Protein backbone atom coordinates (compact mmCIF):
# COMPACT_ATOMS: atom_id res chain seq x y z
CA UNK A 1 0.00 0.00 0.00
CA UNK A 2 1.02 3.62 -0.24
CA UNK A 3 0.96 6.50 2.22
CA UNK A 4 -0.24 9.82 0.84
CA UNK A 5 0.40 12.95 2.91
CA UNK A 6 -2.23 15.65 2.34
CA UNK A 7 -0.82 18.83 0.79
CA UNK A 8 -2.33 22.32 0.64
CA UNK A 9 -5.27 22.29 -1.76
CA UNK A 10 -5.69 18.51 -1.78
CA UNK A 11 -9.21 17.13 -1.79
CA UNK A 12 -10.25 13.51 -1.51
CA UNK A 13 -11.47 13.67 -5.09
CA UNK A 14 -8.02 14.79 -6.27
CA UNK A 15 -6.26 12.08 -4.25
CA UNK A 16 -8.64 9.37 -5.47
CA UNK A 17 -8.11 10.44 -9.09
CA UNK A 18 -4.32 10.45 -8.64
CA UNK A 19 -4.42 6.78 -7.63
CA UNK A 20 -7.33 5.73 -9.87
CA UNK A 21 -9.54 4.72 -6.97
CA UNK A 22 -13.13 5.61 -6.03
CA UNK A 23 -13.32 8.25 -3.30
CA UNK A 24 -15.53 6.05 -1.13
CA UNK A 25 -12.80 3.36 -1.06
CA UNK A 26 -10.38 5.84 0.51
CA UNK A 27 -12.99 6.96 3.04
CA UNK A 28 -14.06 3.45 4.00
CA UNK A 29 -10.63 1.83 4.22
CA UNK A 30 -9.13 4.68 6.27
CA UNK A 31 -12.38 5.45 8.10
CA UNK A 32 -11.55 9.08 7.38
CA UNK A 33 -13.25 11.18 10.07
CA UNK A 34 -13.00 14.46 8.12
CA UNK A 35 -13.57 13.69 4.40
CA UNK A 36 -14.79 17.21 3.57
CA UNK A 37 -12.16 19.03 5.60
CA UNK A 38 -8.78 17.32 5.29
CA UNK A 39 -5.95 18.53 7.50
CA UNK A 40 -2.69 19.46 5.81
CA UNK A 41 -0.16 16.79 6.85
CA UNK A 42 -2.84 14.15 7.43
CA UNK A 43 -1.93 10.69 6.10
CA UNK A 44 -4.15 8.56 3.89
CA UNK A 45 -3.25 4.95 3.16
CA UNK A 46 -3.92 4.04 -0.47
CA UNK A 47 -5.37 0.49 -0.40
CA UNK A 48 -3.65 -1.10 -3.38
CA UNK A 49 -1.23 -4.03 -3.59
CA UNK A 50 2.07 -2.36 -4.29
CA UNK A 51 2.39 1.39 -4.75
CA UNK A 52 2.66 4.17 -7.31
CA UNK A 53 5.65 6.38 -7.95
CA UNK A 54 5.26 9.74 -9.64
CA UNK A 55 8.41 10.46 -11.65
CA UNK A 56 10.22 13.61 -10.53
CA UNK A 57 12.38 15.93 -12.61
CA UNK A 58 15.83 14.39 -13.13
CA UNK A 59 14.85 10.85 -12.09
CA UNK A 60 15.60 7.79 -14.17
CA UNK A 61 14.50 4.17 -13.82
CA UNK A 62 17.79 3.09 -12.26
CA UNK A 63 17.33 5.53 -9.39
CA UNK A 64 13.70 4.55 -8.95
CA UNK A 65 14.49 0.82 -9.01
CA UNK A 66 17.16 1.30 -6.34
CA UNK A 67 14.72 3.25 -4.17
CA UNK A 68 12.27 0.37 -4.15
CA UNK A 69 14.85 -2.43 -4.08
CA UNK A 70 13.73 -3.82 -7.43
CA UNK A 71 15.12 -3.89 -10.97
CA UNK A 72 14.72 -1.70 -14.03
CA UNK A 73 13.58 -4.71 -16.06
CA UNK A 74 10.85 -5.51 -13.52
CA UNK A 75 9.52 -1.94 -13.57
CA UNK A 76 9.59 -1.94 -17.38
CA UNK A 77 7.75 -5.29 -17.49
CA UNK A 78 5.07 -4.53 -14.87
CA UNK A 79 4.29 -1.12 -16.44
CA UNK A 80 4.38 -2.31 -20.05
CA UNK A 81 6.99 0.28 -21.02
CA UNK A 82 8.46 0.15 -24.49
CA UNK A 83 11.87 1.20 -23.13
CA UNK A 84 13.46 2.43 -19.89
CA UNK A 85 13.48 5.94 -21.38
CA UNK A 86 9.72 6.04 -21.90
CA UNK A 87 9.12 8.07 -18.74
CA UNK A 88 8.86 11.79 -17.99
CA UNK A 89 8.20 14.05 -14.97
CA UNK A 90 4.69 13.38 -13.69
CA UNK A 91 4.56 9.87 -15.20
CA UNK A 92 2.96 7.36 -12.83
CA UNK A 93 4.77 4.05 -12.36
CA UNK A 94 3.34 1.03 -10.58
CA UNK A 95 5.78 -0.57 -8.11
CA UNK A 96 5.11 -4.26 -7.34
CA UNK A 97 4.11 -5.45 -3.88
CA UNK A 98 7.12 -6.07 -1.68
CA UNK A 99 7.71 -9.41 0.02
CA UNK A 100 5.82 -9.80 3.28
CA UNK A 101 7.39 -11.28 6.40
CA UNK A 102 5.69 -13.61 8.89
CA UNK A 103 5.48 -12.13 12.39
CA UNK A 104 3.57 -12.46 15.64
CA UNK A 105 1.23 -9.57 16.40
CA UNK A 106 -0.12 -9.16 19.92
CA UNK A 107 -2.43 -6.69 21.60
CA UNK A 108 -3.57 -5.92 25.11
CA UNK A 109 -7.20 -5.29 25.94
CA UNK A 110 -8.50 -3.90 29.22
CA UNK A 111 -12.19 -4.89 29.53
CA UNK A 112 -12.67 -2.06 32.03
CA UNK A 113 -11.92 0.38 29.20
CA UNK A 114 -14.22 -1.40 26.73
CA UNK A 115 -17.18 -2.24 28.97
CA UNK A 116 -19.86 -4.06 27.00
CA UNK A 117 -17.90 -3.86 23.73
CA UNK A 118 -14.79 -6.02 24.32
CA UNK A 119 -15.94 -8.77 21.97
CA UNK A 120 -16.75 -6.31 19.18
CA UNK A 121 -13.39 -4.57 19.63
CA UNK A 122 -11.55 -7.88 19.20
CA UNK A 123 -13.78 -8.94 16.29
CA UNK A 124 -12.86 -5.77 14.40
CA UNK A 125 -9.11 -6.46 14.38
CA UNK A 126 -8.77 -10.14 15.36
CA UNK A 127 -7.71 -11.34 11.92
CA UNK A 128 -4.57 -9.19 12.35
CA UNK A 129 -3.58 -10.69 15.73
CA UNK A 130 -1.62 -13.70 16.92
CA UNK A 131 -2.30 -13.18 20.62
CA UNK A 132 -4.60 -11.20 22.90
CA UNK A 133 -3.45 -10.28 26.41
CA UNK A 134 -6.42 -9.65 28.70
CA UNK A 135 -5.47 -7.03 31.30
CA UNK A 136 -5.58 -7.95 34.13
CA UNK A 137 -5.99 -10.34 37.03
CA UNK A 138 -4.61 -8.44 40.01
CA UNK A 139 -2.53 -10.39 42.52
CA UNK A 140 -3.45 -9.94 46.17
CA UNK A 141 -1.26 -10.13 49.26
CA UNK A 142 -2.91 -13.42 50.30
CA UNK A 143 -2.04 -15.09 46.99
CA UNK A 144 -5.51 -14.82 45.48
CA UNK A 145 -6.40 -13.10 42.21
CA UNK A 146 -8.98 -10.38 41.60
CA UNK A 147 -10.66 -11.26 38.29
CA UNK A 148 -11.68 -9.17 35.31
CA UNK A 149 -14.67 -9.69 32.98
CA UNK A 150 -12.83 -11.62 30.27
CA UNK A 151 -15.22 -14.09 28.64
CA UNK A 152 -16.24 -11.85 25.68
CA UNK A 153 -12.59 -11.15 24.87
CA UNK A 154 -11.61 -14.84 25.09
CA UNK A 155 -14.54 -15.97 22.92
CA UNK A 156 -13.80 -13.36 20.27
CA UNK A 157 -10.13 -14.33 20.27
CA UNK A 158 -10.97 -17.94 19.47
CA UNK A 159 -13.31 -16.82 16.69
CA UNK A 160 -10.28 -15.32 14.93
CA UNK A 161 -7.65 -17.95 15.74
CA UNK A 162 -6.03 -15.70 18.35
CA UNK A 163 -4.18 -17.03 21.41
CA UNK A 164 -5.78 -15.63 24.60
CA UNK A 165 -3.22 -14.75 27.27
CA UNK A 166 -4.17 -14.21 30.89
CA UNK A 167 -2.35 -11.20 32.39
CA UNK A 168 -1.36 -11.08 36.07
CA UNK A 169 -0.19 -7.80 37.60
CA UNK A 170 1.04 -6.47 40.93
CA UNK A 171 -1.56 -3.73 40.56
CA UNK A 172 -3.07 -2.52 43.83
CA UNK A 173 -5.29 0.47 44.58
CA UNK A 174 -4.73 1.98 41.16
CA UNK A 175 -0.97 1.60 40.90
CA UNK A 176 1.81 -0.99 40.61
CA UNK A 177 2.95 -1.98 44.10
CA UNK A 178 6.56 -2.75 44.97
CA UNK A 179 5.45 -3.87 48.44
CA UNK A 180 2.93 -6.36 47.01
CA UNK A 181 5.57 -7.85 44.73
CA UNK A 182 7.96 -8.23 47.67
CA UNK A 183 5.29 -10.01 49.69
CA UNK A 184 4.73 -12.56 46.92
CA UNK A 185 8.36 -13.11 45.94
CA UNK A 186 9.44 -13.71 49.53
CA UNK A 187 6.78 -16.33 50.26
CA UNK A 188 6.94 -19.62 48.29
CA UNK A 189 3.54 -20.78 49.55
CA UNK A 190 1.90 -17.56 48.31
CA UNK A 191 3.55 -18.09 44.93
CA UNK A 192 2.20 -21.63 44.71
CA UNK A 193 -1.28 -20.46 45.66
CA UNK A 194 -1.25 -17.66 43.09
CA UNK A 195 0.06 -19.85 40.26
CA UNK A 196 -2.25 -22.75 41.04
CA UNK A 197 -5.26 -20.41 41.05
CA UNK A 198 -4.12 -18.85 37.79
CA UNK A 199 -3.76 -22.23 36.08
CA UNK A 200 -7.17 -23.33 37.36
CA UNK A 201 -8.69 -20.21 35.78
CA UNK A 202 -6.81 -20.84 32.55
CA UNK A 203 -8.09 -24.42 32.42
CA UNK A 204 -11.63 -23.26 33.06
CA UNK A 205 -11.79 -20.29 30.69
CA UNK A 206 -9.60 -21.49 27.83
CA UNK A 207 -6.56 -19.29 28.21
CA UNK A 208 -3.51 -20.66 26.40
CA UNK A 209 -0.80 -18.65 28.10
CA UNK A 210 0.09 -16.57 31.13
CA UNK A 211 1.60 -13.09 30.79
CA UNK A 212 3.27 -11.48 33.81
CA UNK A 213 3.16 -7.69 33.95
CA UNK A 214 4.93 -7.01 37.23
CA UNK A 215 6.24 -3.44 37.29
CA UNK A 216 8.08 -1.11 39.67
CA UNK A 217 9.77 -4.05 41.37
CA UNK A 218 12.99 -2.33 42.43
CA UNK A 219 16.41 -3.93 42.69
CA UNK A 220 15.38 -5.79 45.85
CA UNK A 221 12.96 -7.95 43.83
CA UNK A 222 15.16 -8.73 40.83
CA UNK A 223 16.24 -12.22 41.88
CA UNK A 224 12.90 -12.94 43.51
CA UNK A 225 11.12 -12.22 40.23
CA UNK A 226 13.52 -14.45 38.30
CA UNK A 227 12.90 -17.32 40.73
CA UNK A 228 9.14 -16.75 40.60
CA UNK A 229 9.17 -16.90 36.79
CA UNK A 230 11.20 -20.13 36.87
CA UNK A 231 8.59 -21.71 39.13
CA UNK A 232 5.78 -20.40 36.91
CA UNK A 233 7.49 -21.75 33.80
CA UNK A 234 7.79 -25.22 35.29
CA UNK A 235 4.09 -25.31 36.17
CA UNK A 236 2.94 -23.85 32.86
CA UNK A 237 5.13 -26.04 30.66
CA UNK A 238 3.66 -29.10 32.35
CA UNK A 239 0.30 -27.93 30.94
CA UNK A 240 1.76 -26.90 27.55
CA UNK A 241 0.87 -23.25 28.16
CA UNK A 242 2.81 -20.21 26.92
CA UNK A 243 4.62 -17.99 29.40
CA UNK A 244 5.51 -14.36 28.68
CA UNK A 245 6.49 -11.20 30.51
CA UNK A 246 6.02 -7.47 29.91
CA UNK A 247 9.20 -5.52 30.68
CA UNK A 248 10.10 -1.85 31.06
CA UNK A 249 12.20 -0.22 28.30
CA UNK A 250 15.89 -0.42 29.27
CA UNK A 251 19.06 0.37 27.36
CA UNK A 252 21.47 -1.38 29.72
CA UNK A 253 21.39 -3.82 32.62
CA UNK A 254 22.69 -1.09 34.93
CA UNK A 255 19.83 1.32 34.26
CA UNK A 256 18.83 3.01 37.51
CA UNK A 257 15.27 3.37 38.78
CA UNK A 258 12.61 1.33 40.55
CA UNK A 259 10.87 0.70 37.22
CA UNK A 260 13.97 -0.83 35.63
CA UNK A 261 16.15 -2.52 38.22
CA UNK A 262 13.84 -5.45 38.89
CA UNK A 263 13.73 -6.53 35.23
CA UNK A 264 16.62 -8.79 34.21
CA UNK A 265 16.37 -8.99 30.41
CA UNK A 266 18.89 -11.79 29.93
CA UNK A 267 17.63 -14.13 32.64
CA UNK A 268 13.95 -13.56 31.89
CA UNK A 269 14.70 -14.13 28.21
CA UNK A 270 16.05 -17.56 29.13
CA UNK A 271 12.90 -18.46 31.08
CA UNK A 272 9.90 -17.23 29.08
CA UNK A 273 8.68 -17.95 25.55
CA UNK A 274 8.56 -14.28 24.54
CA UNK A 275 8.79 -10.80 26.03
CA UNK A 276 6.59 -7.76 25.50
CA UNK A 277 9.02 -4.83 25.63
CA UNK A 278 6.99 -1.75 26.58
CA UNK A 279 8.58 0.67 24.12
CA UNK A 280 6.21 3.57 24.71
CA UNK A 281 5.36 6.26 27.28
CA UNK A 282 8.41 8.48 26.77
CA UNK A 283 5.76 11.10 26.19
CA UNK A 284 3.28 10.41 28.99
CA UNK A 285 0.26 12.12 30.47
CA UNK A 286 2.12 13.54 33.47
CA UNK A 287 5.23 14.59 31.56
CA UNK A 288 6.11 17.33 29.05
CA UNK A 289 4.83 17.12 25.46
CA UNK A 290 6.84 14.76 23.25
CA UNK A 291 6.39 11.67 21.09
CA UNK A 292 4.88 8.73 22.99
CA UNK A 293 7.04 6.19 21.18
CA UNK A 294 9.96 7.97 19.46
CA UNK A 295 11.70 5.65 17.03
CA UNK A 296 15.21 6.61 18.16
CA UNK A 297 14.39 5.65 21.77
CA UNK A 298 12.63 2.47 20.64
CA UNK A 299 15.68 1.49 18.59
CA UNK A 300 18.00 1.99 21.58
CA UNK A 301 15.88 -0.35 23.72
CA UNK A 302 15.50 -3.05 21.09
CA UNK A 303 19.16 -3.04 20.09
CA UNK A 304 20.04 -3.69 23.72
CA UNK A 305 17.26 -6.29 24.00
CA UNK A 306 18.45 -8.35 21.03
CA UNK A 307 21.98 -8.29 22.43
CA UNK A 308 20.87 -10.31 25.48
CA UNK A 309 17.57 -11.95 24.44
CA UNK A 310 17.06 -14.26 21.43
CA UNK A 311 15.44 -12.30 18.59
CA UNK A 312 12.68 -14.86 18.25
CA UNK A 313 11.48 -13.88 21.74
CA UNK A 314 11.44 -10.10 21.27
CA UNK A 315 8.14 -8.24 20.79
CA UNK A 316 8.20 -4.47 20.22
CA UNK A 317 5.52 -2.35 21.88
CA UNK A 318 3.45 0.16 19.87
CA UNK A 319 0.93 2.64 21.32
CA UNK A 320 -2.56 2.94 19.84
CA UNK A 321 -3.00 6.39 21.34
CA UNK A 322 -1.55 9.85 21.66
CA UNK A 323 -1.80 12.75 24.10
CA UNK A 324 -3.24 16.25 24.04
CA UNK A 325 -1.38 18.54 26.48
CA UNK A 326 -2.77 21.87 27.66
CA UNK A 327 0.04 24.43 27.67
CA UNK A 328 2.05 25.67 29.37
CA UNK A 329 3.15 22.33 30.77
CA UNK A 330 3.73 22.51 34.52
CA UNK A 331 5.27 19.57 36.36
CA UNK A 332 2.69 18.20 38.76
CA UNK A 333 -0.10 20.04 36.94
CA UNK A 334 -3.10 18.62 35.07
CA UNK A 335 -2.40 15.44 33.13
CA UNK A 336 -2.62 15.34 29.34
CA UNK A 337 -5.71 13.84 27.74
CA UNK A 338 -5.29 10.45 26.08
CA UNK A 339 -6.72 10.46 22.54
CA UNK A 340 -6.88 8.07 19.61
CA UNK A 341 -5.14 8.78 16.30
CA UNK A 342 -8.57 9.37 14.74
CA UNK A 343 -9.40 11.97 17.39
CA UNK A 344 -6.05 13.65 16.79
CA UNK A 345 -6.82 14.00 13.08
CA UNK A 346 -10.29 15.39 13.81
CA UNK A 347 -8.93 18.01 16.19
CA UNK A 348 -6.34 19.16 13.67
CA UNK A 349 -9.01 19.51 10.99
CA UNK A 350 -11.50 21.23 13.29
CA UNK A 351 -8.91 23.78 14.33
CA UNK A 352 -7.50 24.30 10.85
CA UNK A 353 -3.91 23.49 11.78
CA UNK A 354 -1.17 21.70 9.85
CA UNK A 355 0.02 18.32 11.12
CA UNK A 356 3.81 18.44 11.33
CA UNK A 357 6.13 15.43 11.29
CA UNK A 358 9.29 15.09 13.36
CA UNK A 359 11.84 13.05 11.42
CA UNK A 360 14.00 12.23 14.47
CA UNK A 361 11.26 10.68 16.59
CA UNK A 362 9.27 9.70 13.45
CA UNK A 363 6.06 11.05 14.94
CA UNK A 364 3.31 13.50 13.91
CA UNK A 365 2.39 16.46 16.10
CA UNK A 366 0.75 19.87 16.02
CA UNK A 367 -0.34 22.85 18.12
CA UNK A 368 -3.76 24.45 18.35
CA UNK A 369 -5.69 27.01 20.41
CA UNK A 370 -9.03 25.95 21.90
CA UNK A 371 -12.20 28.05 22.25
CA UNK A 372 -11.12 29.22 25.69
CA UNK A 373 -7.90 30.59 24.21
CA UNK A 374 -5.72 27.86 25.72
CA UNK A 375 -2.80 26.56 23.70
CA UNK A 376 -2.45 22.77 23.18
CA UNK A 377 0.26 20.38 21.94
CA UNK A 378 -0.71 17.02 20.42
CA UNK A 379 1.56 14.05 19.68
CA UNK A 380 0.14 10.85 18.21
CA UNK A 381 0.76 8.02 15.73
CA UNK A 382 -0.04 7.99 12.01
CA UNK A 383 0.70 5.81 8.99
CA UNK A 384 4.23 7.21 8.66
CA UNK A 385 5.20 6.57 12.28
CA UNK A 386 3.75 3.06 12.17
CA UNK A 387 5.60 2.26 8.94
CA UNK A 388 8.85 3.44 10.58
CA UNK A 389 8.25 1.00 13.45
CA UNK A 390 7.44 -1.82 11.03
CA UNK A 391 10.68 -1.10 9.17
CA UNK A 392 12.58 -1.47 12.45
CA UNK A 393 10.90 -4.82 13.13
CA UNK A 394 12.09 -6.05 9.73
CA UNK A 395 15.58 -4.63 10.15
CA UNK A 396 16.13 -6.31 13.53
CA UNK A 397 14.45 -9.58 12.55
CA UNK A 398 12.53 -9.88 15.82
CA UNK A 399 9.51 -12.07 16.61
CA UNK A 400 7.03 -9.25 16.07
CA UNK A 401 5.20 -6.46 17.85
CA UNK A 402 2.22 -5.74 20.07
CA UNK A 403 -0.16 -2.92 20.94
CA UNK A 404 -1.28 -1.11 24.03
CA UNK A 405 -4.26 -0.90 24.01
CA UNK A 406 -7.26 -2.01 21.95
CA UNK A 407 -10.27 0.29 21.95
CA UNK A 408 -8.61 3.30 20.27
CA UNK A 409 -9.56 3.74 16.61
CA UNK A 410 -6.60 3.60 14.23
CA UNK A 411 -7.73 1.98 10.94
CA UNK A 412 -4.55 2.83 9.04
CA UNK A 413 -2.49 0.68 11.39
CA UNK A 414 -4.35 -2.49 10.44
CA UNK A 415 -4.12 -1.69 6.72
CA UNK A 416 -0.35 -1.39 7.03
CA UNK A 417 -0.05 -4.70 8.89
CA UNK A 418 -1.70 -6.40 5.92
CA UNK A 419 0.66 -4.62 3.54
CA UNK A 420 3.87 -5.43 5.43
CA UNK A 421 3.35 -8.79 7.12
CA UNK A 422 1.74 -12.19 7.20
CA UNK A 423 0.33 -12.59 10.71
CA UNK A 424 1.16 -15.90 12.38
CA UNK A 425 -1.77 -17.86 13.77
CA UNK A 426 -1.06 -20.29 16.60
CA UNK A 427 -4.53 -21.64 17.43
Tens digit of each residue's pLDDT (9 = 90 or more) over 51-79: 999 999 999 999 999 999 899 999 999 99
Residue 291 C-beta-side C-alpha neighbours within 13 Å: 21
| pLDDT at residue 29, as a whole number | 97
Distance of CA 207 to the CA centre of its chain: 22
Percent of the chain at pLDDT > 90 equals: 96
CB 287 within 8 A of CB 323: no
| pLDDT at residue 419, as a whole number | 94
| pLDDT at residue 13, as a whole number | 97
Q: Please state, in angstroms and rounded to a whole number, the distance separating the CA atoms of residues 127 and 134.
A: 17
- Dihedral angle, C-alpha 10, 11, 16, 18, nearest 10 °: -30
How many Cβ atoms are within 10 Å of 358's Cβ, its own excluded?
15
Q: Please state, in angstroms and rounded to a whole number, the distance separating the CA atoms of residues 111 and 148.
A: 7
Nearest residue to 34 (alpha-carbon basis) of 341, 346, 408: 346
CA distances in angstroms from 227 to 143, 331, 363, 413, listed in the order given = 16, 38, 39, 38
CB 24 within 8 A of CB 336: no
Distance of CA 277 to the CA centre of its chain: 11
Mean pLDDT across 344-367: 98
Q: Please state, in angstroms and rounded to a whole number, the distance separating the CA atoms of residues 205 and 134.
A: 12
Tens digit of each residue's pLDDT (9 = 90 or more) over 138-187: 999 999 999 999 999 999 999 999 999 999 999 999 999 999 999 999 99
pLDDT band at 1 (very low <50, low <70, confident <90, very high): confident
CB 302 within 8 A of CB 282: no
Q: What is the 3-state secondary structure (H, E, C) of the chain?
A: CEEEECCCCCCHHHHHHHCCCCHHHHHHHHCCCCCCCCCCCCEEEECCCCEEEECCCCCCHHHHHHHCCCCHHHHHHHHCCCCCCCCCCCCEEEECCCCCEEEEEEEEECCCCCCCCHHHHHHHHHHHCCEEEEEEEEECCCCCEECCCCHHHHHHHHHCCCEEEEEEECEECCEECHHHHHHHHCCHHHHHHHHHHHHHHHHHHCCCEEEEECCCCCHHHHHHHHHHHHHHHHHHHHCCCEEEEEECCCCCCCCCCCCCCCCCHHHHHHHCCEEEECCCCCCCCCCCCCCCCCHHHHHHHHHHHHHHCCHHHEEEEEECCEEEEECCCCCCCCCCEEECHHHHHHHHHHCCCCCEEECCCCEEEEEEECCCCCEEEEECCCHHHHHHHHHHHHHHCCCEEEEECCCCCCHHHHHHHHHHEEECCCC
Tell me the pLDDT of the chain averaged across its residues: 97
Tens digit of each residue's pLDDT (9 = 90 or more) over 101-137: 999 999 999 999 999 999 999 999 999 999 999 999 9
Q: Is the pLDDT of residue 217 over 90?
A: yes
Burial (CB < 10 A; 0-12, 13-18, 19+), residue 153, is buried
Mean pLDDT across 222-232: 98
Distance of CA 191 to the CA centre of its chain: 31
Q: Please state, in angstroms and rounded to a whole number, the distance separating the CA atoms of residues 153 and 159.
A: 10
Tell me the catalytic residues. 215
Residues 6+ apart with CB under 8 A from 119: 152, 153, 155, 156
Q: Please state, in angstroms and rounded to a whole number, the distance separating the CA atoms of residues 6 and 214.
A: 42
**Residue 210 backbone phi and psi in degrees, to 5:** -125, 125
Mean pLDDT across 235-256: 98
Considering the entire predicted model, what is its pTM?
0.95
Tens digit of each residue's pLDDT (9 = 90 or more) over 22-49: 999 999 999 999 999 999 999 999 999 8
| pLDDT at residue 252, as a whole number | 98
Residues 6+ apart with CB under 8 A from 259: 215, 216, 248
Amino acid sequence: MQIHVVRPGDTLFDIARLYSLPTNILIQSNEIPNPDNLAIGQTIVIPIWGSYHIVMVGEDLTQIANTYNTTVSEIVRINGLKSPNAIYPGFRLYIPQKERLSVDVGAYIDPRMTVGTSGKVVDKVGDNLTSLSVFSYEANANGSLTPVVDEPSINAAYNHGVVPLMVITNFSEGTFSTELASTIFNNPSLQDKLLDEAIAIMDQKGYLGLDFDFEYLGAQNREGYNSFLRKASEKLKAKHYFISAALAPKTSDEQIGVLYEGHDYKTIGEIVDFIFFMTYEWGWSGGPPMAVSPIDKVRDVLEYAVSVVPKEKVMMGIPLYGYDWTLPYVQGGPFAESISPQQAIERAAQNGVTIQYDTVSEAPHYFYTDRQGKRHAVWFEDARSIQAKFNLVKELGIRGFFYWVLGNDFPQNWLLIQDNFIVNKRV
